[in-house]
Chains A and B, each alone.
Chain A
Protein backbone atom coordinates (compact mmCIF):
# COMPACT_ATOMS: atom_id res chain seq x y z
CA UNK A 1 0.00 0.00 0.00
CA UNK A 2 1.29 3.37 -1.01
CA UNK A 3 0.18 5.19 2.12
CA UNK A 4 1.91 2.66 4.34
CA UNK A 5 5.05 3.05 2.26
CA UNK A 6 4.95 6.81 2.63
CA UNK A 7 4.41 6.82 6.36
CA UNK A 8 6.28 3.67 7.13
CA UNK A 9 3.73 2.06 9.40
CA UNK A 10 0.15 0.86 9.42
CA UNK A 11 -1.74 -2.18 8.27
CA UNK A 12 -4.04 -3.10 5.43
CA UNK A 13 -7.70 -3.48 6.25
CA UNK A 14 -10.15 -4.61 3.55
CA UNK A 15 -8.07 -2.96 0.86
CA UNK A 16 -7.63 0.26 2.82
CA UNK A 17 -4.63 1.47 4.72
CA UNK A 18 -5.16 1.84 8.47
CA UNK A 19 -2.48 3.99 10.09
CA UNK A 20 -2.55 4.36 13.87
CA UNK A 21 -0.99 7.58 14.98
CA UNK A 22 -0.26 9.52 18.11
CA UNK A 23 -1.97 12.79 18.93
CA UNK A 24 1.05 14.93 18.07
CA UNK A 25 2.26 13.21 14.92
CA UNK A 26 -1.16 13.09 13.19
CA UNK A 27 -0.63 16.52 11.75
CA UNK A 28 2.66 15.63 10.13
CA UNK A 29 1.27 12.36 8.79
CA UNK A 30 -1.70 14.07 7.16
CA UNK A 31 0.51 16.79 5.75
CA UNK A 32 2.90 14.21 4.35
CA UNK A 33 0.08 12.24 2.80
CA UNK A 34 -1.39 15.38 1.31
CA UNK A 35 1.92 16.23 -0.28
CA UNK A 36 2.24 12.70 -1.65
CA UNK A 37 -0.95 12.54 -3.68
CA UNK A 38 -3.60 12.02 -1.05
CA UNK A 39 -5.28 15.22 -2.12
CA UNK A 40 -8.85 14.42 -1.27
CA UNK A 41 -9.85 14.62 2.35
CA UNK A 42 -12.92 12.40 2.60
CA UNK A 43 -14.01 12.89 6.15
CA UNK A 44 -13.14 13.01 9.79
CA UNK A 45 -15.11 10.71 12.01
CA UNK A 46 -15.04 9.85 15.64
CA UNK A 47 -15.76 6.62 17.45
CA UNK A 48 -16.55 6.43 21.15
CA UNK A 49 -14.90 3.32 22.63
CA UNK A 50 -16.50 3.59 26.03
CA UNK A 51 -15.06 0.27 27.27
CA UNK A 52 -11.51 1.39 26.63
CA UNK A 53 -12.39 4.88 27.85
CA UNK A 54 -11.11 6.52 24.72
CA UNK A 55 -12.24 8.35 21.60
CA UNK A 56 -10.88 7.37 18.24
CA UNK A 57 -10.60 10.08 15.62
CA UNK A 58 -10.38 8.65 12.10
CA UNK A 59 -9.10 10.87 9.30
CA UNK A 60 -10.12 9.45 5.94
CA UNK A 61 -8.06 10.42 2.93
CA UNK A 62 -8.21 9.38 -0.66
CA UNK A 63 -5.67 9.59 -3.41
CA UNK A 64 -6.93 10.02 -6.95
CA UNK A 65 -3.37 9.26 -8.08
CA UNK A 66 -2.87 5.95 -6.32
CA UNK A 67 -6.59 5.09 -6.08
CA UNK A 68 -6.13 4.31 -2.47
CA UNK A 69 -7.86 5.05 0.79
CA UNK A 70 -6.02 5.81 4.00
CA UNK A 71 -7.45 6.00 7.49
CA UNK A 72 -5.36 7.76 10.10
CA UNK A 73 -6.51 6.85 13.55
CA UNK A 74 -5.82 8.96 16.63
CA UNK A 75 -6.87 7.76 20.06
CA UNK A 76 -7.70 10.30 22.74
CA UNK A 77 -8.61 9.85 26.38
CA UNK A 78 -12.28 10.29 27.13
CA UNK A 79 -11.87 12.89 29.86
CA UNK A 80 -10.96 16.35 28.61
CA UNK A 81 -10.19 15.18 25.08
CA UNK A 82 -8.46 17.68 22.87
CA UNK A 83 -6.82 17.57 19.49
CA UNK A 84 -4.98 19.91 17.15
CA UNK A 85 -7.11 21.49 14.49
CA UNK A 86 -6.10 20.77 10.94
CA UNK A 87 -8.40 23.12 9.08
CA UNK A 88 -5.46 24.86 7.53
CA UNK A 89 -4.61 21.75 5.54
CA UNK A 90 -8.13 21.18 4.25
CA UNK A 91 -10.76 23.84 4.84
CA UNK A 92 -13.61 21.40 5.23
CA UNK A 93 -12.02 19.86 8.32
CA UNK A 94 -13.24 22.93 10.16
CA UNK A 95 -16.83 21.79 9.71
CA UNK A 96 -16.08 18.23 10.79
CA UNK A 97 -14.34 19.54 13.86
CA UNK A 98 -17.31 21.72 14.70
CA UNK A 99 -19.60 18.76 14.49
CA UNK A 100 -17.35 16.48 16.54
CA UNK A 101 -16.88 19.20 19.11
CA UNK A 102 -20.62 19.46 19.45
CA UNK A 103 -21.43 15.77 19.30
CA UNK A 104 -18.57 14.38 21.41
CA UNK A 105 -17.25 17.37 23.28
CA UNK A 106 -13.75 17.07 21.85
CA UNK A 107 -11.87 20.33 21.86
CA UNK A 108 -9.85 21.29 18.81
CA UNK A 109 -7.02 23.69 19.53
CA UNK A 110 -6.68 26.30 16.84
CA UNK A 111 -10.22 26.12 15.51
CA UNK A 112 -11.85 29.44 16.25
CA UNK A 113 -15.28 28.48 15.02
CA UNK A 114 -16.36 25.78 17.46
CA UNK A 115 -19.82 27.34 17.62
CA UNK A 116 -23.07 25.35 17.82
CA UNK A 117 -23.50 23.60 14.52
CA UNK A 118 -26.45 21.25 14.39
CA UNK A 119 -28.00 21.81 17.77
CA UNK A 120 -29.28 25.01 19.27
CA UNK A 121 -29.28 25.71 22.96
CA UNK A 122 -27.99 22.26 23.90
CA UNK A 123 -26.86 21.94 27.51
CA UNK A 124 -26.91 18.21 28.13
CA UNK A 125 -24.15 15.65 27.60
CA UNK A 126 -22.89 15.76 24.01
CA UNK A 127 -25.42 13.50 22.32
CA UNK A 128 -23.19 11.16 20.37
CA UNK A 129 -21.32 9.96 23.44
CA UNK A 130 -22.22 6.43 24.38
CA UNK A 131 -23.22 7.45 27.88
CA UNK A 132 -25.95 9.72 26.56
CA UNK A 133 -29.22 7.83 26.37
CA UNK A 134 -31.29 9.28 23.58
CA UNK A 135 -34.39 7.30 24.45
CA UNK A 136 -34.37 8.41 28.06
CA UNK A 137 -33.83 12.02 27.06
CA UNK A 138 -36.73 11.91 24.63
CA UNK A 139 -38.97 10.41 27.27
CA UNK A 140 -37.90 12.94 29.87
CA UNK A 141 -38.31 15.97 27.68
CA UNK A 142 -40.83 15.37 24.96
CA UNK A 143 -43.12 12.85 26.59
CA UNK A 144 -43.45 14.93 29.72
CA UNK A 145 -45.02 17.80 27.85
CA UNK A 146 -48.71 17.92 28.75
CA UNK A 147 -51.51 17.91 26.24
CA UNK A 148 -53.59 20.99 25.63
CA UNK A 149 -56.53 20.91 27.99
CA UNK A 150 -59.60 21.99 26.10
CA UNK A 151 -62.70 23.29 27.72
CA UNK A 152 -66.06 21.86 26.83
CA UNK A 153 -67.05 24.62 24.49
CA UNK A 154 -69.26 24.66 21.47
CA UNK A 155 -67.49 27.65 20.01
CA UNK A 156 -64.16 25.99 19.47
Chain B
Protein backbone atom coordinates (compact mmCIF):
# COMPACT_ATOMS: atom_id res chain seq x y z
CA UNK B 1 0.00 0.00 0.00
CA UNK B 2 1.58 3.23 -1.10
CA UNK B 3 -0.93 5.53 0.53
CA UNK B 4 -1.31 6.02 4.21
CA UNK B 5 -4.60 6.72 5.83
CA UNK B 6 -5.34 9.86 7.72
CA UNK B 7 -8.39 10.66 9.75
CA UNK B 8 -9.46 14.26 9.82
CA UNK B 9 -11.91 14.07 12.66
CA UNK B 10 -13.90 13.34 14.71
CA UNK B 11 -11.36 14.47 17.29
CA UNK B 12 -9.17 16.77 15.25
CA UNK B 13 -8.69 20.52 15.23
CA UNK B 14 -8.96 20.60 11.46
CA UNK B 15 -12.54 19.52 11.14
CA UNK B 16 -15.69 21.58 11.38
CA UNK B 17 -17.45 19.97 14.28
CA UNK B 18 -17.90 16.31 14.96
CA UNK B 19 -17.47 14.54 11.67
CA UNK B 20 -14.73 12.65 9.94
CA UNK B 21 -12.97 12.59 6.63
CA UNK B 22 -11.09 9.44 5.95
CA UNK B 23 -8.25 10.37 3.64
CA UNK B 24 -5.90 8.22 1.66
CA UNK B 25 -2.77 10.24 1.13
CA UNK B 26 0.22 9.60 -1.09
CA UNK B 27 3.10 11.84 -0.10
CA UNK B 28 1.11 14.95 0.51
CA UNK B 29 -1.59 14.49 -2.11
CA UNK B 30 -4.99 13.20 -1.18
CA UNK B 31 -5.90 10.38 -3.53
CA UNK B 32 -9.23 9.49 -2.03
CA UNK B 33 -11.52 11.02 0.53
CA UNK B 34 -14.48 9.53 2.26
CA UNK B 35 -16.84 11.49 4.41
CA UNK B 36 -18.00 9.71 7.51
CA UNK B 37 -20.83 11.31 9.46
CA UNK B 38 -23.33 10.15 12.02
CA UNK B 39 -21.50 11.19 15.14
CA UNK B 40 -24.19 13.77 15.80
CA UNK B 41 -27.20 11.84 14.59
CA UNK B 42 -29.98 12.26 17.10
CA UNK B 43 -32.87 11.18 14.92
CA UNK B 44 -34.59 14.57 14.89
CA UNK B 45 -36.92 13.60 12.08
CA UNK B 46 -38.04 10.56 14.02
CA UNK B 47 -38.45 12.54 17.21
CA UNK B 48 -40.52 15.19 15.45
CA UNK B 49 -42.96 12.57 14.25
CA UNK B 50 -43.82 11.73 17.83
CA UNK B 51 -44.19 15.31 19.05
CA UNK B 52 -46.97 17.70 18.20
CA UNK B 53 -46.60 20.74 16.02
CA UNK B 54 -45.71 23.17 18.78
CA UNK B 55 -43.41 20.81 20.64
CA UNK B 56 -41.31 20.65 17.55
CA UNK B 57 -40.37 24.32 17.71
CA UNK B 58 -37.70 23.90 20.43
CA UNK B 59 -36.44 20.84 18.60
CA UNK B 60 -35.87 22.33 15.14
CA UNK B 61 -33.53 25.07 16.28
CA UNK B 62 -31.12 22.47 17.61
CA UNK B 63 -30.45 21.11 14.15
CA UNK B 64 -27.92 23.77 13.21
CA UNK B 65 -25.98 25.06 16.16
CA UNK B 66 -24.15 28.12 14.81
CA UNK B 67 -27.23 29.57 13.12
CA UNK B 68 -30.42 28.10 14.64
CA UNK B 69 -32.88 30.77 13.49
CA UNK B 70 -33.05 29.62 9.88
CA UNK B 71 -34.49 26.33 11.11
CA UNK B 72 -37.17 28.05 13.09
CA UNK B 73 -37.90 30.29 10.14
CA UNK B 74 -38.19 27.50 7.59
CA UNK B 75 -40.28 25.36 9.90
CA UNK B 76 -42.55 28.27 10.78
CA UNK B 77 -42.99 29.19 7.13
CA UNK B 78 -43.84 25.63 6.16
CA UNK B 79 -46.41 25.31 8.93
CA UNK B 80 -47.83 28.73 8.09
CA UNK B 81 -48.25 27.64 4.51
CA UNK B 82 -50.12 24.50 5.50
CA UNK B 83 -52.29 26.51 7.90
CA UNK B 84 -52.67 29.26 5.28
CA UNK B 85 -51.77 31.91 7.82
CA UNK B 86 -50.80 35.47 6.97
CA UNK B 87 -48.53 36.79 9.69
CA UNK B 88 -48.31 40.37 10.97
CA UNK B 89 -46.00 42.80 9.13
CA UNK B 90 -44.03 43.67 12.25
CA UNK B 91 -43.23 40.02 12.87
CA UNK B 92 -41.83 39.78 9.37
CA UNK B 93 -39.49 42.70 9.98
CA UNK B 94 -38.38 41.34 13.32
CA UNK B 95 -37.72 38.01 11.62
CA UNK B 96 -35.52 39.70 9.05
CA UNK B 97 -33.60 41.46 11.78
CA UNK B 98 -32.90 38.32 13.77
CA UNK B 99 -32.14 36.24 10.69
CA UNK B 100 -29.61 38.76 9.46
CA UNK B 101 -28.04 39.16 12.88
CA UNK B 102 -27.74 35.39 13.10
CA UNK B 103 -26.18 35.40 9.67
CA UNK B 104 -23.56 37.91 10.76
CA UNK B 105 -22.83 35.87 13.87
CA UNK B 106 -22.51 32.71 11.81
CA UNK B 107 -20.23 34.42 9.28
CA UNK B 108 -18.03 35.76 12.05
CA UNK B 109 -17.70 32.27 13.39
CA UNK B 110 -16.99 30.81 10.00
CA UNK B 111 -14.39 33.46 9.18
CA UNK B 112 -12.78 32.97 12.55
CA UNK B 113 -12.59 29.22 12.17
CA UNK B 114 -11.30 29.55 8.65
CA UNK B 115 -8.54 31.87 9.81
CA UNK B 116 -7.71 29.36 12.50
CA UNK B 117 -7.28 26.69 9.86
CA UNK B 118 -4.81 28.98 8.10
CA UNK B 119 -2.85 29.34 11.31
CA UNK B 120 -3.53 32.94 12.14
CA UNK B 121 -4.92 32.71 15.63
CA UNK B 122 -5.47 36.41 16.13
CA UNK B 123 -8.54 36.54 13.93
CA UNK B 124 -10.48 33.70 15.57
CA UNK B 125 -9.91 35.39 18.89
CA UNK B 126 -11.19 38.70 17.58
CA UNK B 127 -14.03 37.38 15.47
CA UNK B 128 -15.40 35.01 18.05
CA UNK B 129 -15.04 37.64 20.73
CA UNK B 130 -16.96 40.10 18.56
CA UNK B 131 -19.58 37.48 17.79
CA UNK B 132 -20.36 37.40 21.46
CA UNK B 133 -21.83 40.90 21.23
CA UNK B 134 -24.38 39.56 18.80
CA UNK B 135 -25.21 36.81 21.24
CA UNK B 136 -25.85 39.58 23.76
CA UNK B 137 -28.40 41.08 21.37
CA UNK B 138 -30.07 37.72 21.02
CA UNK B 139 -30.16 37.38 24.75
CA UNK B 140 -31.97 40.67 25.12
CA UNK B 141 -34.32 39.94 22.27
CA UNK B 142 -35.11 36.29 22.89
CA UNK B 143 -33.79 35.40 26.32
CA UNK B 144 -31.25 32.90 25.08
CA UNK B 145 -27.79 33.13 23.64
CA UNK B 146 -27.77 30.20 21.29
CA UNK B 147 -31.11 28.43 20.97
CA UNK B 148 -33.60 31.22 20.69
CA UNK B 149 -36.95 29.46 20.06
CA UNK B 150 -38.07 32.91 18.96
CA UNK B 151 -39.61 32.52 15.54
CA UNK B 152 -42.87 30.64 16.02
CA UNK B 153 -45.38 29.60 13.44
CA UNK B 154 -47.56 32.68 13.29
CA UNK B 155 -45.02 35.32 14.20
CA UNK B 156 -42.33 35.87 16.76
CA UNK B 157 -42.49 34.98 20.40
CA UNK B 158 -42.03 38.41 21.91
CA UNK B 159 -42.06 41.90 20.63
CA UNK B 160 -38.77 43.66 20.23
CA UNK B 161 -37.77 45.67 23.32
CA UNK B 162 -37.75 49.40 22.77
CA UNK B 163 -34.10 49.98 23.57
CA UNK B 164 -32.81 47.16 21.44
CA UNK B 165 -32.44 49.04 18.11
CA UNK B 166 -29.95 51.34 19.80
CA UNK B 167 -27.87 48.42 21.00
CA UNK B 168 -28.07 46.77 17.61
CA UNK B 169 -26.90 49.93 15.88
CA UNK B 170 -24.03 50.26 18.33
CA UNK B 171 -22.94 46.68 17.75
CA UNK B 172 -23.24 47.03 13.99
CA UNK B 173 -21.09 50.11 13.80
CA UNK B 174 -18.56 48.45 16.11
CA UNK B 175 -18.52 45.44 13.79
CA UNK B 176 -18.00 47.66 10.78
CA UNK B 177 -14.99 49.16 12.46
CA UNK B 178 -13.63 45.74 13.33
CA UNK B 179 -14.07 44.48 9.79
CA UNK B 180 -11.36 46.92 8.69
CA UNK B 181 -9.01 45.24 11.14
CA UNK B 182 -9.98 41.81 9.85
CA UNK B 183 -9.10 43.01 6.38
CA UNK B 184 -5.64 44.03 7.53
CA UNK B 185 -4.97 40.77 9.28
CA UNK B 186 -6.51 38.29 6.90
CA UNK B 187 -8.36 39.46 3.83
CA UNK B 188 -5.64 41.73 2.53
CA UNK B 189 -2.79 39.60 3.77
CA UNK B 190 -0.36 38.43 1.13
CA UNK B 191 -0.01 34.96 2.62
CA UNK B 192 -3.78 34.52 2.54
CA UNK B 193 -3.65 35.11 -1.21
CA UNK B 194 -0.81 32.63 -1.53
CA UNK B 195 -2.57 30.01 0.49
CA UNK B 196 -6.16 30.32 -0.69
CA UNK B 197 -6.13 31.27 -4.36
CA UNK B 198 -6.92 28.28 -6.53
CA UNK B 199 -7.44 25.94 -3.58
CA UNK B 200 -10.50 23.73 -3.33
CA UNK B 201 -11.82 24.61 -6.74
CA UNK B 202 -15.27 23.47 -7.69
CA UNK B 203 -15.02 22.77 -11.42
CA UNK B 204 -16.59 25.41 -13.63
CA UNK B 205 -20.16 24.63 -14.55
CA UNK B 206 -20.45 21.78 -12.07
CA UNK B 207 -21.58 23.89 -9.13
CA UNK B 208 -25.30 23.79 -9.83
CA UNK B 209 -25.36 20.17 -10.88
CA UNK B 210 -23.57 19.21 -7.66
CA UNK B 211 -26.14 21.06 -5.59
CA UNK B 212 -23.82 23.78 -4.36
CA UNK B 213 -25.76 26.66 -2.82
CA UNK B 214 -25.30 29.82 -0.84
CA UNK B 215 -22.04 31.75 -0.68
CA UNK B 216 -20.23 28.80 -2.19
CA UNK B 217 -22.42 29.04 -5.29
CA UNK B 218 -22.13 32.80 -5.45
CA UNK B 219 -18.35 32.44 -5.33
CA UNK B 220 -18.67 30.41 -8.51
CA UNK B 221 -20.21 33.35 -10.30
CA UNK B 222 -23.93 32.53 -10.03
CA UNK B 223 -25.91 35.31 -8.42
CA UNK B 224 -28.52 33.07 -6.87
CA UNK B 225 -29.88 33.91 -3.48
CA UNK B 226 -33.15 32.59 -2.11
CA UNK B 227 -33.78 35.98 -0.56
CA UNK B 228 -34.11 37.21 -4.14
CA UNK B 229 -35.40 34.12 -5.91
CA UNK B 230 -38.22 33.32 -3.54
CA UNK B 231 -38.44 36.35 -1.25
CA UNK B 232 -39.73 35.40 2.16
CA UNK B 233 -40.55 37.67 5.09
CA UNK B 234 -39.92 41.16 3.76
CA UNK B 235 -36.77 40.62 1.76
CA UNK B 236 -38.47 41.96 -1.37
CA UNK B 237 -38.70 45.34 0.39
CA UNK B 238 -35.04 45.40 1.24
CA UNK B 239 -32.55 47.08 -0.99
CA UNK B 240 -29.56 44.84 -1.57
CA UNK B 241 -27.64 43.36 -4.44
CA UNK B 242 -26.60 39.74 -4.57
CA UNK B 243 -22.86 39.54 -4.07
CA UNK B 244 -21.21 37.21 -6.49
CA UNK B 245 -17.91 36.57 -8.13
CA UNK B 246 -16.37 38.63 -9.83
CA UNK B 247 -17.95 41.69 -8.24
CA UNK B 248 -15.91 41.62 -5.07
CA UNK B 249 -16.06 45.25 -4.01
CA UNK B 250 -12.64 46.62 -3.17
CA UNK B 251 -11.04 43.21 -2.94
CA UNK B 252 -8.77 42.11 -5.73
CA UNK B 253 -10.20 39.54 -8.08
CA UNK B 254 -7.15 37.33 -8.06
CA UNK B 255 -8.53 33.97 -8.88
CA UNK B 256 -10.95 32.76 -11.48
CA UNK B 257 -13.56 31.98 -8.88
CA UNK B 258 -14.91 28.87 -7.19
CA UNK B 259 -11.97 28.64 -4.82
CA UNK B 260 -11.46 29.10 -1.10
CA UNK B 261 -10.32 32.67 -1.61
CA UNK B 262 -13.47 33.79 -3.39
CA UNK B 263 -15.71 31.93 -0.98
CA UNK B 264 -14.20 33.69 2.00
CA UNK B 265 -14.28 37.11 0.32
CA UNK B 266 -17.96 36.59 -0.54
CA UNK B 267 -18.66 35.78 3.11
CA UNK B 268 -16.72 38.81 4.22
CA UNK B 269 -18.74 41.06 1.89
CA UNK B 270 -22.05 39.56 2.92
CA UNK B 271 -21.41 40.65 6.50
CA UNK B 272 -21.52 44.24 5.30
CA UNK B 273 -24.59 43.48 3.23
CA UNK B 274 -26.36 41.98 6.23
CA UNK B 275 -25.48 44.99 8.31
CA UNK B 276 -27.20 47.22 5.78
CA UNK B 277 -30.26 44.94 5.64
CA UNK B 278 -30.59 45.01 9.43
CA UNK B 279 -30.43 48.78 9.35
CA UNK B 280 -33.09 48.99 6.65
CA UNK B 281 -35.36 46.59 8.50
CA UNK B 282 -35.04 48.52 11.74
CA UNK B 283 -35.78 51.73 9.90
CA UNK B 284 -38.84 50.47 8.04
CA UNK B 285 -40.24 48.41 10.90
CA UNK B 286 -43.95 49.17 11.38
CA UNK B 287 -45.81 49.09 14.67
CA UNK B 288 -48.37 46.41 15.35
CA UNK B 289 -48.92 42.87 16.52
CA UNK B 290 -45.99 40.50 16.62
CA UNK B 291 -47.92 37.19 16.52
CA UNK B 292 -51.31 35.93 15.46
CA UNK B 293 -53.61 34.19 17.83
CA UNK B 294 -52.72 30.52 18.18
CA UNK B 295 -55.11 27.61 18.59
CA UNK B 296 -54.68 25.43 21.66
CA UNK B 297 -51.27 23.85 21.24
CA UNK B 298 -52.29 20.44 22.46
CA UNK B 299 -55.21 20.15 20.08
CA UNK B 300 -53.66 22.03 17.21
CA UNK B 301 -54.21 20.11 13.98
CA UNK B 302 -52.65 21.08 10.69
CA UNK B 303 -54.53 20.46 7.43
CA UNK B 304 -53.13 17.64 5.28
CA UNK B 305 -50.70 18.48 2.50
CA UNK B 306 -47.13 18.85 1.42
CA UNK B 307 -45.17 22.00 2.14
CA UNK B 308 -41.66 22.84 1.16
CA UNK B 309 -40.07 26.07 2.32
CA UNK B 310 -36.55 27.27 1.83
CA UNK B 311 -34.52 30.01 3.41
CA UNK B 312 -31.06 31.32 2.71
CA UNK B 313 -28.77 30.46 5.58
CA UNK B 314 -25.18 31.50 5.96
CA UNK B 315 -24.19 28.11 4.63
CA UNK B 316 -26.61 27.90 1.76
CA UNK B 317 -30.08 26.74 0.97
CA UNK B 318 -31.97 25.48 4.00
CA UNK B 319 -35.20 23.67 3.24
CA UNK B 320 -37.97 22.07 5.26
CA UNK B 321 -40.24 19.50 3.67
CA UNK B 322 -43.26 19.08 5.89
CA UNK B 323 -45.95 16.49 5.30
CA UNK B 324 -49.12 16.51 7.31
CA UNK B 325 -52.05 14.10 7.29
CA UNK B 326 -54.33 16.40 9.26
CA UNK B 327 -53.48 15.10 12.72
CA UNK B 328 -51.80 16.94 15.59
CA UNK B 329 -48.41 15.47 14.71
CA UNK B 330 -46.50 15.72 11.47
CA UNK B 331 -46.19 12.64 9.29
CA UNK B 332 -42.78 13.57 8.09
CA UNK B 333 -40.43 16.49 8.36
CA UNK B 334 -37.37 16.30 6.20
CA UNK B 335 -34.65 18.86 6.53
CA UNK B 336 -32.47 19.80 3.62
CA UNK B 337 -29.27 21.14 5.11
CA UNK B 338 -26.82 22.93 2.82
CA UNK B 339 -23.91 20.94 4.19
CA UNK B 340 -25.53 17.76 2.97
CA UNK B 341 -24.18 18.36 -0.49
CA UNK B 342 -21.19 20.51 0.48
CA UNK B 343 -19.91 18.19 3.14
CA UNK B 344 -20.38 14.84 1.51
CA UNK B 345 -20.29 14.81 -2.27
CA UNK B 346 -18.66 18.12 -3.07
CA UNK B 347 -16.01 17.80 -0.37
CA UNK B 348 -15.23 14.20 -1.29
CA UNK B 349 -14.74 15.18 -4.90
CA UNK B 350 -12.73 18.34 -4.47
CA UNK B 351 -10.53 16.90 -1.76
CA UNK B 352 -9.30 14.36 -4.28
CA UNK B 353 -5.99 15.66 -5.51
CA UNK B 354 -5.79 18.39 -2.90
CA UNK B 355 -2.69 19.03 -0.88
CA UNK B 356 -2.88 17.56 2.60
CA UNK B 357 -2.09 20.94 4.12
CA UNK B 358 -5.19 22.41 2.48
CA UNK B 359 -7.75 19.87 3.57
CA UNK B 360 -8.88 21.71 6.63
CA UNK B 361 -8.81 25.01 4.77
CA UNK B 362 -11.10 23.59 2.09
CA UNK B 363 -13.53 22.22 4.64
CA UNK B 364 -13.69 25.50 6.52
CA UNK B 365 -14.08 27.48 3.33
CA UNK B 366 -17.03 25.28 2.33
CA UNK B 367 -18.38 26.02 5.82
CA UNK B 368 -19.47 22.46 6.40
CA UNK B 369 -21.64 22.09 9.46
CA UNK B 370 -22.16 18.41 10.31
CA UNK B 371 -25.36 18.72 12.42
CA UNK B 372 -27.38 19.66 9.39
CA UNK B 373 -26.03 16.69 7.46
CA UNK B 374 -27.09 14.13 9.99
CA UNK B 375 -29.80 15.82 12.05
Cβ contacts B181-219/A at 8 Å (1 or 0 each)? 000000000000000000000000000111101000000
Chain B nearest CB, measured from A85 CB (Å):
14
Cβ contacts A55-98/B at 8 Å (1 or 0 each)? 00010100010010101000000000000000000111011100
A-binding segment of B53-61, B111-119, B338-346, B354-362: B338-346
Question: Which chain B residues border A108 with CB–CB below 8 Å?
Answer: none
Pair A95/B349 contact, Cβ less than 8 Å: no
Q: How far is the CA of A14 from the CA of B346 in the complex (A)?
A: 31
Pair A64/B50 contact, Cβ less than 8 Å: no
Chain A nearest CB, measured from B224 CB (Å):
6
Chain B nearest CB, measured from A72 CB (Å):
12
Does chain B have a CB within 8 A of A43?
yes
**Given A43-B334, A134-B50 in contact, is the A117-B319 Cβ separation under 8 Å?**
no
Question: Which chain A residues border B269 with CB–CB below 8 Å?
Answer: none
A-binding segment of B160-168, B292-300, B301-309: B301-309
Question: Which chain A residues border B317 with CB–CB below 8 Å?
Answer: 42
Pair A95/B344 contact, Cβ less than 8 Å: yes
Interface centre among B47, B81, B306, B323 (most CB of A within 10 A): B306
Chain B nearest CB, measured from A88 CB (Å):
11
Question: Which chain B residues border A123 with CB–CB below 8 Å?
Answer: none
A-binding segment of B38-46, B65-73, B149-157, B250-258: B38-46
Does chain A have a CB within 8 A of B230?
yes
Q: How far is the CA of A128 from the CA of B37 in the complex (A)?
A: 17
| Cβ contact of A67, chosen from B38, B229, B319, B349, cutoff 8 A | B229
**Given A90-B209, A91-B345, A92-B210 in contact, is the A14-B340 Cβ separation under 8 Å?**
no
Q: How far is the CA of A58 from the CA of B208 in the complex (A)?
A: 20
Q: How far is the CA of A119 from the CA of B374 in the complex (A)?
A: 10
Does chain A have a CB within 8 A of B120?
no
Pair B307/A14 contact, Cβ less than 8 Å: yes
Pair A18/B41 contact, Cβ less than 8 Å: no
**Given A42-B317, A90-B211, A92-B341 in contact, is the A120-B38 Cβ separation under 8 Å?**
yes
When C-beta atoms are compared, the residue in chain A nearest to B223 turns out to be A64
Q: How large is the interface on B (under 10, 10 to 19, 20 to 34, 35 or more residues)?
A: 35 or more
Does chain A have a CB within 8 A of B133?
no
Q: How far is the CA of A117 from the CA of B374 in the complex (A)?
A: 9
When C-beta atoms are compared, the residue in chain B nearest to A73 turns out to be B306
Cβ contacts B231-258/A at 8 Å (1 or 0 each)? 0000000000000000000000000000
Chain A nearest CB, measured from B323 CB (Å):
5
Pair A13/B306 contact, Cβ less than 8 Å: yes
Pair A45/B307 contact, Cβ less than 8 Å: no
Interface centre among A42, A48, A128, A135 (most CB of B within 10 A): A42
Question: Which chain A residues border B50 with CB–CB below 8 Å?
Answer: 134-135
Pair A48/B38 contact, Cβ less than 8 Å: no
| Cβ contact of B332, chosen from A40, A45, A116, cutoff 8 A | A45
Pair B208/A39 contact, Cβ less than 8 Å: yes
Q: How far is the CA of A64 from the CA of B374 in the complex (A)?
A: 27
| Cβ contact of A118, chosen from B37, B211, B305, B307, cutoff 8 A | B37
Does chain A have a CB within 8 A of B336?
yes
Cβ contacts B345-369/A at 8 Å (1 or 0 each)? 1100100000000000000000000
10 A-B pairs in the complex with CB atoms less than 8 angstroms apart: A16-B306, A39-B209, A43-B321, A48-B332, A49-B331, A67-B230, A91-B210, A91-B345, A92-B344, A92-B345
Which 7 pairs of residues, A with B, have the shortest CB-CB distance?
A: A118-B38, A45-B334, A43-B336, A118-B41, A47-B332, A92-B211, A92-B341
